[in-house]
Each structure stands twice: as structure tokens, then as C-alpha cells.
């Protein structure tokens, strides 16, 4: 049994209320930070913890905080990125709807550390019901004196607001999110300047994922060194994985980083194996944007070692034989899954969600979708397979924001690991175009 | 172009909510309230934002109409055409597809008579809309109707139960800002 740092009390009745949350030790980190620590000391603890951004990029949170510009007399902001829209990822929604006060506590402690007096939670518009839950919890925190003027008599003021988006995956990119929060289309900004220097309203701003902020109370309470003891190497602490697809027990699992992937998939404590007694064919381990891996490579590294649920182990081998931990959206596919169809589905998603600002992404995602559509529907040619790789390559690295890579990587990886399946779609076009068609080699791969 | 349509107006409750929202942003950054106000407008004026409604939003926030149009057309949640009483947003992305969202869409088209991307069903009750990932992948396939998620719709019985519930909603559910106390979405769920 791994330790649960964030979700320990998630099933306690009434934990979404201030009273019950407080009874279970809630808001201790705010008291400890505001009464006994300087803001810089809080930043230092987060640095020591080794916490890495849980939204997908994995950048060290403490280091990100220390980049924040602090000119005198200029307001600065903390913005929580709750625009969770990466296919396969649904942890933040659960965390916020069941433990709203954990996020609010994290926002207060983090805002104090950063010297922000106004903070925002930018939540994806589809989650309006979660927004109501958060607003209710925020009202409770104001009433209890943890938000507003002169928090706990310290002289520190903080206002916290929730802001809904309008349905656009691109707003998960931090600068697009800030544009959207300013009431504009979610077009990512050129960087530099980075948000730490010019973010919301051109003021210094830190943007962090929900799960990263929810980890801050634990770090402050236990101390950064204690937090860093959990996990393996530079992958410290716990991480929420949202498991979905063809699993017996899909859901949210908080694990200590370092659990073997095989144990995560097959043990009864976690996903309980593949549904309907079938074999596993492939896994997308960190949300739809990370490279897909066939069974043998997700369970073992190319060197034959057990693949672990850590940033390093999952990316071992680069993109030739590895993938990324990403946002922790763990999508398992059984042996009957059509990889071409799945890749087309993801491409359609990225084409739909491209903001259209830069050509390689706007046009490239459209090309990928079209070529995959014709392969999947029995009109493809052999040259199309290399065309996919070529288009993916021309998107990668040539766009303002990482949506280009997010669209290109899954396609390139699917061709890399399942090329024979793409070829079969060309040579058996009519057969492949039938709904439910299964590539005959699938069972061999599994 | 001359029009005889009555100019839409926000209800008093909605106006109060907009006033509250504007306190969230610096005084010279009223535009920040655009997305939240568009959500209010869409809920208040029949589930879609007509050009007249968007003009009202612009007027309310002191923006040029184009500033509203370019935003409403960018974000997929805002319906720019009239919709039925219930908009069924069917998630079609990756994990939902793996768990049968294509079959669910076909099933819903058969039962309701509405087509994805088309007008509402003849009885005016249902509009079908395919959407991208709804962040509920572990409970796929999913349909979202207003603020409520209907999850694990992988059996005809589950789909029937959802449609029956929606058909039996005689009155429109109260909008959150029309209520005090427990937020509306919680009461509904």
C-alpha cells in the first residue's frame, strides 16, 4: 500500500465542507506558513521537495516559483490551471469536486509564498458544476478568515476567484490560458517574455496545475525533505494517475512514484488487469499527447528492466523505445483496438483544438487527420504512411506552443511501433474499413 | 439592417450576478468577465447566443461587438444557432471511443431522431452535439447536459434512463444565480 498524501481523506463524508475538512487537519499549512514562515522559506521548502509540475511538463515547481519577478509596487498573480482537457486525464476534476478545500488551501499557501494578493483558478468551462463547488468552498474559507483582508491577523490579504473557460483545449497552455482569462481568444503568446515576468495583465504571474498546488499543503506541513524521501530519484512524492480505456477498474489512483507499470495495470489494488480477460496491446501512459507504446515496451524498458511509474523510467530510451509521464492520463488498449482508428481519433482532436494561429499546426494537424481518415476508411496508399511521419516532423518544433508536438508525437509513435498495422490497412482496405475490424497481428503483439 | 426583434435584456438576478463577477477583476479589465458573462447569457436566453444577445453582452461590458463575436466563435461551448431544450454533448475522444461512444452516438440519433450537428429533434427536446474530451475518461462513454454529467452510458438501459429523466424535466432547472444556498448543480446531481 502506497502512502496517500492528497487523497487520504477523499472518501470521508462531508469532506467538501470547511468544517469536516478542518477537522481532518485542513488549513494547517496556511497557519504554519503565515504564522511561522517567511514567503521565501515556503518557496525553499517547495524547492527541497523536488515537486515537479503535475500538469504534464514536469518542470520543478520551486524553480518556477523562484523565477517570478518581484518589482516593487506591482501586483503579481498566481493562476491555477484547472483547464484539464487532455484526453485520458480526469484527475483534477475529481480532486476539485471532492476536495475543493485542498486546492483552496494550496492556493492560499502558495499565494502567500509568491506574494500574490489576487489569485485565480481558471477552470475549464465544461466543469461549471465544479465551479459551483469551488465557489461555495471559497465562500466558506472567506467566512472562516482564511481569505480576504488580514488573514489570521497577519496583515496578509488575498482574494481568490474562480474563472470558467469556454471549451478550448488550447487554454491549458499557460499563455493561452492567460489570454483567455483576459477575455480574449485562447491564442498562445510568443515567449519570451515568460509569464513569470509578464503574465496576466502583463504582470508577473505563476501558472500551476491543480495537482501541483494541492501538493503544497503537504509539503509545508511535512517539510520538503520528508516529501522528497517518497519516490525514486528526481521523481519525488506521489502522483495521481487517471486510468481509463480497457481496464477492469478504471479510476483515479494516487501512487508513490516508482511503482512498476506492470503492478499498476495488473494488481487488484489498482487497475485490476485488462477487461473481458483480453490481452493488453498498447498503452498511452501520460495523456493523449505522449507517444504510444506497445505492451512489451510499456512493461519493460529496451534494456529489459521493469518500467516504473516515474518521469525518468517512462521516458527511458527517448521516443524510440520510451514515452512520457505527462499528466498521468493512463489509457490502456486491449488486443482488439485498431491503432489506426485510435490515432485518427486523436488527430481529429488536435485538428479541432488547434487555435489556428500558426500554419504548421493549423495546416499540419488537418493533414494528419485527413491522411489518417483515408487510411482508416480504406482509401489509403502505402506512401501515406511515410507522409504521416513527414508531416509530423514538419509540425514538431515549428509552432508557437507545444500543441504542435502534442499532435505530432502520437502519430509518429503509432507509425514507429505499429507500422505493420498501417500497412495492413492499405493492403486490406475494404476489410480494414469495416467497423470493428481487427488487424490479425494484434494478438501476436500482445 | 432594420430589425423588429425585441432587444433582449438580462434579468435582475443575472444583472446582479454580472455585477458580482466584475468585482473579480481590476476595474480597467472588465473584458476579463467576457467568458463568464457569455455563459450567463447562454443559460438565460434559451441555450444559445444570438447576435442580439452578443450585442447585449458587449454593451453590458463596454466592449465593441466584434470583441464578443471573435470570442464566442472561438470557444466551442457557445452555441451560435438555436438549440433544443436539452443539448446532449457526446464525448467522442480516445478513451470514450474505446468504450463505445460511436455506438452511443448512433443509438442517440436513432432514438431522438436528431442528427449530430443538425437541428433539434422534431419535438424540440434534443440537440445532439459531439464534443472533445470531457475529462471523465474513466467513466466513459459520457454525455454532458448543461452542468450534469451522465456517465457509463454503455447500455441501452442507461441511455433510456437519461432520456427519461430529461423528458420528465417539465420546467427548466433554476439557474445557479437564481438560487441561494446550495448551488444548483449540486442539487441536481
Residues B138, A250: C-beta atoms closer than 8 Å: yes
Query: What domains can be seen in chain A, in order of their start residue?
Result: 18-229 (3.40.50.11540), 232-334 (3.10.20.600), 339-440 (1.20.1440.230)
The number of C-beta contacts closer than 8 angstroms across A and B is: 164
Interface with chain B: mutation pick from A94, A126, A337, A346, highest number of B CBs within 10 Å: A126
Return phi, psi of residue A96, to 5°.
-70, -40
pLDDT on residue A444? 45
Residue environment code for B23-40, b if the CB has 16+ CB neighbours within 10 A, otherwise e: ebbeeeebbbbbbbbbbb
C-beta of residue A205 within 8 angstroms of C-beta of residue A80: no
> Mean pLDDT across chain B, nearest whole number?
89
| Chain B residue numbers touching A125 (CB-CB < 8 A) | 35, 39, 75, 77
pLDDT on residue A433? 83
Residue B189 pLDDT grade (very low, low, confident, very high; cuts 50, 70, 90): very low
Whether the per-residue pLDDT at B187 is higher than 70: the answer is: no
Residues A132, B147: C-beta atoms closer than 8 Å: yes
Is B97 exposed, middle or buried, given 0-12, 13-18 or 19+ CB atoms closer than 10 A? buried
- The pTM of this model reads 0.95
| Chain A residue numbers touching B102 (CB-CB < 8 A) | 435
B53 is in an annotated binding site: no
Distance from CA of B160 to the nearest CA of A (A): 23
Find, in chain A, the residue whose alpha carbon is nearest to that of B133: A87
pLDDT on residue B182? 34
Alpha helices by DSSP H, chain B: 12-22, 34-44, 51-61, 65-72, 94-98, 101-112, 156-167, 184-188
| Chain B residue numbers touching A345 (CB-CB < 8 A) | 92-94, 97
Closest to B35 (Cβ–Cβ): which among A93, A126, A180? A180
B133 is in an annotated binding site: yes
Interface with chain A: mutation pick from B22, B33, B95, highest number of A CBs within 10 Å: B95
C-beta of residue B56 within 8 angstroms of C-beta of residue B44: no
| Chain A residue numbers touching B177 (CB-CB < 8 A) | none
Residues B136, A124: C-beta atoms closer than 8 Å: no
Pull the grid cell for residue A292.
504510444
CA distance B23 to B59: 18
Contacts of residues A36-42 at CB distance under 8 Å and 24 or more positions apart, as own/partner, are: A37/A220, A39/A112, A39/A113, A39/A114, A39/A115, A40/A113, A42/A109, A42/A110, A42/A112, A42/A113, A42/A220
Cell 438565460 appears where?
B44
- Domain edges within chain B: 12-74, 86-168
| Chain A residue numbers touching B181 (CB-CB < 8 A) | none
Whether the per-residue pLDDT at B170 is higher than 80: the answer is: no
* Half-sphere exposure at residue A286, Cβ-oriented, CA atoms within 13 angstroms: 26
Residues A244, B137: C-beta atoms closer than 8 Å: yes
| Chain B residue numbers touching A86 (CB-CB < 8 A) | 133
Alpha helices by DSSP H, A309-402: 311-314, 318-321, 339-353, 359-376, 382-395
Distance from CA of B4 to the nearest CA of A (A): 31
Order of all β-strands in the sheet with B143-145? B126-131, B86-91, B143-145, B148-150
pLDDT on residue A17? 98
CA dist list (Å): A409 to A323, A369, B83, B135:
10, 14, 37, 21
pLDDT on residue B184? 37
Find, in chain B, the residue whose alpha carbon is nearest to that of A342: B94
Residues B94, A126: C-beta atoms closer than 8 Å: no
Neighbours of A225 (CB within 10 A): 12
pLDDT on residue A429? 87
SS (H, E, C) A244-269: EECECCCEEEEEECCCEHHHHHHCCC
pLDDT per residue of chain A (446 residues) written in tens, 0 to 9: 589 999 999 999 999 999 999 999 999 999 999 999 999 999 999 999 999 999 988 999 999 999 999 999 999 999 999 999 999 999 999 999 999 999 999 999 999 999 999 999 999 999 999 999 999 999 999 999 999 999 999 999 999 999 999 999 999 999 999 999 999 999 999 999 999 999 999 999 999 999 999 999 999 999 999 999 999 999 999 999 999 999 999 999 999 999 999 999 999 999 999 999 999 999 999 999 999 999 999 999 999 999 999 999 999 999 999 999 999 999 999 999 999 999 999 999 999 999 999 999 999 999 999 999 999 999 999 999 999 999 999 999 999 999 999 999 999 999 999 999 999 999 998 888 887 787 876 544 43
Whether the per-residue pLDDT at B87 is higher than 90: the answer is: yes
Find, in chain B, the residue whose alpha carbon is nearest to that of A17: B182
Residues B144, A126: C-beta atoms closer than 8 Å: yes
Residue B176 pLDDT grade (very low, low, confident, very high; cuts 50, 70, 90): low
| Chain B residue numbers touching A133 (CB-CB < 8 A) | 183, 185-186
B92-101 pLDDT per residue, tens: 999 999 999 9
C-beta of residue B179 within 8 angstroms of C-beta of residue B188: no
Element (H, E) at A57: none
Closest to B71 (Cβ–Cβ): which among A84, A161, A185? A185
pLDDT on residue A261? 98
Alpha helices by DSSP H, A150-253: 174-181, 210-222, 224-229
C-beta of residue A190 within 8 angstroms of C-beta of residue A61: no
ipTM higher than the 0.85 cut: yes
| Chain B residue numbers touching A169 (CB-CB < 8 A) | 132-133
CA distance A314 to A323: 6
Residues B95, A331: C-beta atoms closer than 8 Å: yes
Find, in chain A, the residue whose alpha carbon is nearest to that of B73: A185
Pull the grid cell for residue A20.
469536516
Find, in chain A, the residue whose alpha carbon is nearest to that of B95: A245
B26-51 pLDDT per residue, tens: 999 999 999 999 999 999 999 999 99
Element (H, E) at A186: none
CATH number of B12-74: 1.10.10.1590
CATH number of B86-168: 3.40.30.10
Task: Quote the distance between the C-alpha of residue B101 and its chain's center.
Answer: 20
Amino acid at each position: 500500500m502506497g502512502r496517500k498524501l492528497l487523497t487520504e481523506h477523499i472518501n470521508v463524508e462531508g469532506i467538501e465542507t470547511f468544517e469536516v475538512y478542518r477537522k481532518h487537519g485542513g488549513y494547517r499549512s496556511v497557519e504554519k506558513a503565515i504564522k511561522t514562515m517567511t514567503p521565501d522559506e515556503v518557496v525553499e521548502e517547495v524547492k527541497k521537495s523536488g515537486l515537479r509540475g503535475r500538469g504534464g511538463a514536469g518542470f520543478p515547481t520551486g524553480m518556477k516559483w523562484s523565477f517570478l519577478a518581484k518589482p516593487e509596487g506591482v501586483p503579481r498573480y498566481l493562476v491555477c490551471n484547472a483547464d484539464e482537457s487532455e484526453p485520458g486525464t480526469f484527475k483534477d476534476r475529481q480532486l476539485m469536486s471532492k476536495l475543493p478545500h485542498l486546492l483552496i488551501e494550496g492556493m492560499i499557501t502558495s499565494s502567500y509564498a509568491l506574494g500574490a494578493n489576487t489569485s485565480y483558478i481558471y477552470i475549464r468551462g465544461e466543469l461549471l458544476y465544479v465551479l459551483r463547488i469551488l465557489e461555495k468552498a471559497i465562500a466558506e474559507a472567506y467566512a472562516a478568515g482564511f481569505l480576504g483582508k488580514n488573514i489570521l491577523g497577519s496583515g496578509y490579504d488575498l482574494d481568490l476567484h474562480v474563472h470558467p473557460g469556454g471549451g478550448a483545449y488550447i487554454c491549458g497552455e499557460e499563455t493561452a490560458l492567460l489570454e483567455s482569462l483576459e477575455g480574449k481568444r485562447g491564442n498562445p503568446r510568443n515567449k519570451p517574455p515568460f509569464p513569470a515576468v509578464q503574465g496576466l495583465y502583463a504582470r508577473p504571474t505563476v501558472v500551476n496545475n491543480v495537482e501541483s498546488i494541492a501538493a503544497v499543503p503537504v509539503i509545508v506541513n511535512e517539510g520538503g525533505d520528508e516529501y522528497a524521501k517518497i519516490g525514486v530519484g528526481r521523481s519525488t512524492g506521489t502522483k495521481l494517475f487517471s486510468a481509463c480505456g480497457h481496464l477492469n477498474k478504471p479510476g483515479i489512483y494516487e501512487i508513490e512514484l516508482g511503482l512498476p507499470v506492470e503492478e499498476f495495470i495488473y494488481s487488484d489494488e489498482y487497475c485490476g488487469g485488462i477487461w473481458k480477460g483480453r490481452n493488453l496491446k498498447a498503452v498511452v501512459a501520460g495523456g493523449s499527447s505522449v507517444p504510444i507504446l506497445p505492451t512489451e515496451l510499456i512493461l519493460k524498458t529496451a534494456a529489459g528492466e521493469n518500467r516504473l511509474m516515474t518521469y525518468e523510467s517512462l521516458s527511458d530510451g527517448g521516443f524510440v523505445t520510451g514515452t512520457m509521464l505527462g499528466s498521468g492520463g493512463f489509457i490502456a488498449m486491449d488486443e482488439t483496438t485498431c491503432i489506426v482508428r485510435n490515432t485518427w481519433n486523436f488527430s481529429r482532436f488536435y485538428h479541432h483544438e488547434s487555435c489556428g494561429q500558426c500554419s504548421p499546426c493549423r495546416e499540419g494537424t488537418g493533414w494528419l487527420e485527413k491522411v489518417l481518415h483515408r487510411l482508416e476508411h480504406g482509401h489509403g496508399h502505402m506512401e501515406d504512411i511515410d507522409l504521416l511521419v513527414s508531416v509530423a516532423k514538419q509540425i514538431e518544433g515549428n509552432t508557437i506552443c507545444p500543441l504542435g508536438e502534442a499532435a505530432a508525437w502520437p502519430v509518429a509513435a503509432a507509425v514507429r511501433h505499429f507500422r505493420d498495422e498501417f500497412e495492413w490497412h492499405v493492403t486490406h482496405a475494404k476489410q480494414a474499413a469495416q467497423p470493428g475490424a481487427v488487424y490479425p497481428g494484434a494478438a501476436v503483439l500482445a | 439592417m432594420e430589425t423588429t426583434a425585441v432587444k433582449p435584456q438580462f434579468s435582475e438576478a443575472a444583472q446582479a450576478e454580472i455585477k458580482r463577477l466584475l468585482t473579480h477583476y481590476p476595474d480597467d479589465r472588465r473584458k476579463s468577465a467576457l467568458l463568464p458573462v457569455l455563459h450567463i447569457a447562454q443559460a438565460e436566453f434559451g441555450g444559445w447566443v444570438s447576435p442580439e444577445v452578443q450585442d447585449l453582452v458587449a454593451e453590458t461590458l463596454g466592449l465593441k461587438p466584434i470583441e464578443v463575436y471573435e470570442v464566442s466563435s472561438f470557444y466551442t461551448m457557445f452555441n451560435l444557432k438555436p438549440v433544443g431544450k436539452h443539448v446532449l454533448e457526446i464525448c467522442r475522444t480516445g478513451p470514450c471511443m474505446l468504450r463505445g461512444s460511436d455506438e452511443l452516438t448512433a443509438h442517440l440519433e436513432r432514438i431522438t431522431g436528431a442528427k449530430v450537428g443538425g437541428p433539434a429533434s422534431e419535438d424540440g427536446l434534443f440537440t445532439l452535439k459531439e464534443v472533445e474530451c470531457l475529462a471523465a475518461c474513466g467513466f466513459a462513454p459520457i454525455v454532458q447536459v448543461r452542468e450534469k454529467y451522465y456517465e457509463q452510458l454503455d447500455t441501452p438501459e442507461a441511455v433510456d434512463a437519461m432520456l427519461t429523466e430529461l423528458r420528465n424535466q417539465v420546467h427548466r432547472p433554476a439557474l445557479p444565480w437564481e438560487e441561494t444556498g446550495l448551488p444548483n448543480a449540486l442539487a441536481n446531481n
